[in-house]
């Protein structure tokens, strides 16, 4: 039985649900409510109040301010249950089914992801964004959760306030914008602004209050003649002064470097029409223009060309009484819903059926996010690039360009002709030989601008060029170009394999793929594909390779690498091992004979295993060694557990290879980057520059693998550095 105070809350929530949602499963809400009360009964919030107040308020936001459906409300009630109480996700699944369990699970995980949007987390980030696209309700719960946390931020320690406010501004607000949740976005921004710039916030708030009467009076005067005319036309409408949010005023003040008074002489009014006729908006535009003189260059038609998040409206700026500028926004009720509640409203209309155009827009939106993240497995896009491309698309504006037939294409700012080509169709992209912008032939790397008319010239014979990847910026174009070259390499490697097999047969060389793989590893090829590709590209001479293998005799395939592997590396490995005191086998440091495998060169700190060989004692391999599988195939009993001794006060040493385009000051910057990262000590440096290329090998002291990875991540951010890797061969 619920206590009286909870009964009241439950009634409130149900009432709000029935008011705002089309259908409500009372039983579902009640059960979620009861489980949440029970699960959180011993917890308190930072404010000292019972914890349940939080999920309850989050559910209220979802029911009232976003108003999607009852499933989201139930999920909101349960959103912290798994994270903060004993109940597991399976418990929720049993009780409420898969959908709610997925939403709760997604919302739980997404917090962690957003909190650490480190580059190394990109893969998780991608998975989550995908799951969130599959069910946008994950994000809706998350936005509501964040909104309530921001509303109650003052109970947290100051430092935490700053971090959360900043994260809200950096991540949640732009996301909310993408989801079209304008109201939520504004409130998030204003709340974050309040905590990050308290005095500026108070100044604006004070100034707005001081001028409220004056402003309301003016708006009244401006609106009356419009209201009269609209009524004469028999239109149903609402007209209101539009509140500006604090953060945008602040941004304007900063951008234009002007005081409040000069920014806020701009008034804004909104007309919302209760009709489904989009054309009525243009009628109203005409009427407003008759009453007040419009400023033509400020007219924006987002009805014919909606923003990518689905926003539609007409914007016009007119000269009002006393010569003051007033911005008027004109939209239908449905456009208004979408403007305020974005994807949630889309969802609503979609469920309502019969709204085909909206379906299509929602679909476009979902495709947009999907395209961004949904690449095939194994495709060669680094997490860093992925995040950058996502940020680009999340934060930057869009441009509107046209095909010769006048079809509109929306691209991110700074998109080039090649992006446009792939936007039209991958086939067009692949066969592009040139582009015309506004009738003039331009290079393919030309950056397009809104309003450009772009024509792509194609030829059946044309093939993608490797340079394209450098100036394509959309994920779509980049993915196609990279996939093409991957495919191309695979094809050439196939041909290379045929060449190889033919010659090997002729020479009567019998060698299977495993053996050949071992051999190509000694030649610094990552795998057979790379080896066959080199054959086809005539980078290596097959006859010589065959002769070499025949010479060595198959059984004695060289495990050791050729001498030129670099004496620095050998020296490095020796030193690395000498600073530890051997390894322990079966947990004891016995007198067993062991040595280090040359295929993977383990160094202290690596995760290792021992492999019992015949005659050579135990070989120490890295657990990630590429020969691991074949060792396992030879019998699991031959693998033994080995360990490095406990780390002493002395650190381990590790090698890092850095390459990139040389420039003045690069070495200093790289060295600084290393030593400033957690006070890392550098043991030795070996640099070579060839033409304009920089190639450096650094040996550093690290405490563990995380430390090493941290340094590597840091180095990747140094300008002009194109490759950073741990050096192990």
Residue 145 touches Mn ion, criterion: CB under 5 A: yes
Q: How far is the CB of 45 from Mn ion (least distance, A)?
A: 10
Q: How many amino acids of this chain bind Mn ion (CB under 5 A)? A: 2
Nearer to Mn ion, 46 or 453 (CB): 46
Of the pair 73, 535, the CB lying nearest Mn ion is at 73
CB closer to Mn ion out of 62 and 239: 62
Contacting range for Mn ion; rule: CB under 5 A; set: 138-146, 375-383, 420-428, 526-534: 138-146
Looking at 113-121, 140-148, 621-629, 639-647, which segment touches Mn ion (CB under 5 A)?
140-148
Nearer to Mn ion, 76 or 343 (CB): 76
Long-range Cβ contacts of 187-191 (<8 Å, 24+ apart) = 187/147, 187/150, 187/245, 188/143, 188/146, 188/147, 188/150, 189/245, 189/247, 189/248, 190/245, 190/246, 190/247, 191/147, 191/150, 191/151, 191/153, 191/165
Residues in CB range of 395: below 8 A, 6 or more apart = 174
x/- track of binding to Mn ion for residues 525-554 (CB under 5 A): ------------------------------
Residue with smaller CB distance to Mn ion, 101 or 415:
101
Of 75-83, 357-365, 565-573, 632-640, the window that binds Mn ion (rule: CB under 5 A) is: 75-83
The torsion angles phi and psi of 661, rounded to 5 degrees, stand at -90, 130
Task: Answer yes or no: are the C-beta atoms of 618 and 611 closer than 8 Å.
Answer: yes
- With contacts defined by CB under 5 A, name the span among 139-147, 280-288, 290-298, 719-727 that binds Mn ion: 139-147
The widest CA-to-CA distance across the chain, in whole angstroms, is 103
Nearest to 611 by CA among 637, 636, 639, 630: 639
**Of 145 and 423, CB closest to Mn ion:** 145
Does residue 423 belong to the site contacting Mn ion (CB under 5 A)? no
Choice between 59 and 271, CB closer to Mn ion? 59
Site track for Mn ion across 668-697, x = CB under 5 A: ------------------------------
Q: Which two tokens stand for residue 217?
A: 């009076």
Can you name the residues that pair with 237 across neighbouring β-strands? 273
For the bound state, the minimum distance from the C-beta of residue 578 to Mn ion, rounded and expressed in Å, comes to 52
Choose the catalytic residue: 34, 84, 203, 729. Answer: 84
CB of 33 to Mn ion, least distance (A): 16
Q: Between residues 80 and 102, which has the closer beta carbon with respect to Mn ion?
A: 80
User: For residue 386, how many other CB atoms are within 10 A of its CB?
Assistant: 20
Binding string to Mn ion for residues 585 to 624, with x set by CB under 5 A, is what?
----------------------------------------
Could you tell me which stretch among 4-12, 73-81, 491-499, 576-584 binds Mn ion (CB under 5 A)? 73-81
Name which of 68, 92, 71 is nearest 27 in CA terms: 71
CB distance 74 to 28 below 8 Å:
yes
Measured between alpha carbons, how far is 313 from 309 in angstroms, rounded to an integer?
13
Assess contact for 626 and 521: CB atoms under 8 A: yes
Look-up of token digits 């795998």: 527
Which of 65, 69, 80, 327 lies at the binding interface for Mn ion (CB under 5 A)?
A: 80
Report how far Cα 338 is from the mean position of its chain's Cα atoms.
Answer: 24
The residue range among 77-85, 632-640, 665-673, 702-710 that interacts with Mn ion, by the rule CB under 5 A, is 77-85
**Closer residue to Mn ion (CB): 142 or 195:** 142
Min separation Cβ 141 and Mn ion, Å: 9
Q: Which of residues 227-256 bind Mn ion (CB under 5 A)?
A: none
| 84 in active site | yes
Q: Catalytic site residue 83?
A: yes
Candidate ranges 74-82, 461-469, 536-544, 568-576; the one touching Mn ion (CB under 5 A): 74-82
| Stretch near Mn ion under the rule CB under 5 A, chosen from 141-149, 421-429, 504-512, 681-689 | 141-149
- Closest distance between Mn ion and the C-beta of residue 399, in Å? 38
57 near Mn ion, judged by CB under 5 A: no
Reading the block at residue 507, the tokens are 């020479």
Minimum CB distance to Mn ion smaller for 88 or for 274 = 88
The stretches of 542-664 forming alpha helices (DSSP H) are: 542-552, 567-578, 628-633
Minimum CB–partner distance for residue 149 and Mn ion (Å)? 6
Query: Helices 528-536 and 475-506 meet at what angle, rounded to 10?
Result: 80
Nearer of residues 104 and 399 to Mn ion, judged by Cβ: 104
* Contact yes or no for 428/460 (Cβ under 8 A): no
Q: Beta strand 300-301 with 325-332: parallel, antiparallel or unpaired?
A: unpaired
Contact 357, 312 (CB under 8 A): no
CA–CA dist 700, 680 (Å, integer): 7
Nearer residue to Mn ion within complex by CB, 113 or 642: 113
Q: If you write DSSP's letter for every residue of 526-561 in order, what string do you get? A: SSHHHHHHHHHTTSS-HHHHHHHHHHH-GGG---SP
- Which listed residue (12, 38, 43, 83) is catalytic? 83
User: Shortest approach of Mn ion to residue 413 CB, angstroms?
Assistant: 35
> What is the nearest approach in angstroms of Mn ion to the Cβ of residue 79?
6
Please write down the HEC assignment for all residues of 688-712: EEECCEEEEEEEEEECCHHHHHHHH
- Find the shortest distance in angstroms from Cβ 28 to Mn ion: 20
DSSP assignment string, 652-702: EEEEEEEEEE--TTHHHHHHHHHHHSTTPPEEEEEEEEETTEEEEEEEEEE
Q: Pairing state of beta strands 398-402 and 237-241?
A: unpaired
* C-alpha dist (Å) from residue 426 to 431, 488, 522: 9, 16, 39
Site for Mn ion in 98-117 (CB under 5 A): none
The residue at minimum Cβ distance from Mn ion is 145
Q: How far is the CB of 164 from Mn ion (least distance, A)?
A: 12
Q: Which is nearer to Mn ion, 80 or 419 (CB)?
A: 80
Q: Residue written as tokens 């509107």? A: 400
**Binding segment for Mn ion among 117-125, 145-153, 249-257, 685-693 (CB under 5 A)?**
145-153
CA distances to 278, 329, 335, 347, 607 from 274, rounded to whole Å, are 10, 14, 10, 20, 67
Q: How many CA atoms lie within 13 A of 174 on its CB side?
A: 14
Task: List residues binding Mn ion (CB under 5 A).
Answer: 80, 145
Q: Just list the catalytic residues.
A: 83-84
């Amino acid at each position: 039985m619920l206590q009286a105070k909870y009964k009241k809350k439950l009634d409130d929530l149900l009432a709000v649900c029935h008011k705002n949602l089309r259908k409500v499963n009372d039983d579902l809400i009640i059960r979620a409510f009861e489980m949440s009360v029970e699960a959180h009964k011993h917890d308190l919030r930072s404010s000292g109040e019972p914890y349940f107040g939080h999920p309850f308020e989050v559910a209220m936001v979802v029911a009232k301010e976003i108003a999607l459906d009852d499933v989201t409300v139930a999920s909101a009630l349960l959103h912290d249950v798994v994270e903060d109480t004993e109940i597991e996700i399976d418990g929720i699944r049993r009780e409420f089914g898969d959908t709610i369990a997925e939403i709760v699970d997604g919302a739980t995980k997404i917090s962690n992801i957003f909190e650490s949007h480190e580059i190394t987390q990109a893969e998780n980030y991608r998975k989550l964004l995908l799951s969130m696209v599959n069910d946008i309700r994950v994000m809706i719960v998350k936005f509501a959760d964040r909104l309530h946390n921001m509303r109650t931020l003052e109970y947290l320690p100051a430092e935490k306030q700053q971090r959360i406010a900043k994260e809200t501004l950096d991540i949640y607000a732009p996301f909310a914008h993408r989801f079209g949740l304008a109201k939520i976005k504004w409130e998030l921004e204003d709340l974050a602004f309040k905590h990050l710039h308290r005095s500026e916030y108070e100044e604006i708030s004070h100034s707005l209050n001081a001028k409220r009467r004056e402003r309301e009076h003016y708006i009244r005067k401006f609106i009356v003649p419009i209201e009269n005319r609209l009524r004469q036309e028999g239109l149903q409408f609402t007209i209101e002064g539009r509140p500006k949010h604090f953060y945008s005023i602040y941004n304007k003040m900063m951008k234009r470097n002007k005081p409040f008074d000069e920014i806020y002489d701009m008034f804004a009014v909104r007309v919302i029409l209760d009709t489904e006729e989009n054309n009525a908006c243009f009628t109203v535009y005409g009427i407003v223009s008759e009453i007040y003189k419009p400023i033509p260059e400020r007219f924006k038609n987002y009805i014919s060309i909606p923003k990518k998040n689905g926003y539609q409206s007409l914007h016009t700026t007119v000269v009002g009484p006393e010569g003051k500028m007033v911005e008027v926004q004109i939209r239908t009720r449905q456009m208004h819903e979408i403007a305020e509640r974005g994807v949630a409203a889309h969802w609503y209309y979609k469920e309502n059926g019969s709204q085909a155009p909206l379906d299509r827009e929602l679909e476009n939106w979902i495709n947009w996010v999907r395209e961004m993240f949904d690449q095939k497995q194994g495709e060669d896009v680094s997490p860093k690039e992925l995040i950058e491309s996502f940020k680009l698309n999340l934060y930057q504006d869009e441009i509107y360009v046209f095909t010769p037939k006048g079809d509109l294409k929306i691209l991110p700012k700074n998109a080039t002709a090649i992006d446009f080509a792939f936007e039209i169709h991958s086939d067009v992209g692949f066969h592009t030989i040139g582009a015309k912008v506004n009738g003039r032939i331009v290079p393919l790397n030309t950056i397009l601008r809104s309003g450009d008319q772009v024509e792509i010239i194609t030829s059946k014979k044309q093939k993608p060029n490797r340079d394209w990847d450098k100036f394509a910026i959309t994920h779509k174009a980049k993915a196609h170009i990279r996939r093409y070259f991957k495919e191309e390499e695979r094809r050439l490697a196939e041909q290379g394999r045929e060449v190889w097999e033919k010659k090997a047969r002729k020479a009567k060389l019998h060698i299977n793929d495993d053996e050949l793989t071992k051999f190509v590893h000694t030649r610094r090829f990552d795998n057979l594909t790379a080896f066959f590709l080199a054959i086809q590209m005539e980078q290596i001479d097959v006859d010589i390779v065959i002769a070499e293998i025949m010479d060595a005799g198959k059984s004695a395939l060289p495990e050791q690498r050729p001498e030129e592997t670099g004496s620095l590396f050998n020296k490095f490995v020796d030193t690395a091992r000498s600073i530890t005191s051997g390894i322990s086998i079966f947990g004891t440091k016995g007198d067993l004979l062991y040595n280090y495998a040359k295929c993977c060169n383990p160094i202290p700190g690596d995760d290792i295993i021992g492999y019992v060989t015949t005659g050579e004692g135990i070989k120490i391999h890295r657990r990630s060694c590429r020969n691991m599988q074949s060792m396992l195939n030879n019998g699991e009993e031959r693998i033994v557990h080995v360990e490095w001794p406990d780390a002493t006060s002395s650190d381990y040493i590790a090698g890092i290879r850095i390459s990139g385009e040389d420039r003045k000051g690069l070495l200093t910057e790289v060295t600084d980057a290393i030593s400033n990262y957690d006070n890392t000590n550098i043991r030795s440096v070996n640099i070579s520059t060839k033409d304009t290329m920089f190639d450096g090998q650094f040996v550093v002291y690290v405490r563990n693998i995380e430390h090493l990875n941290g340094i590597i991540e840091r180095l990747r951010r140094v300008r002009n550095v194109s490759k950073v890797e741990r050096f192990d061969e």
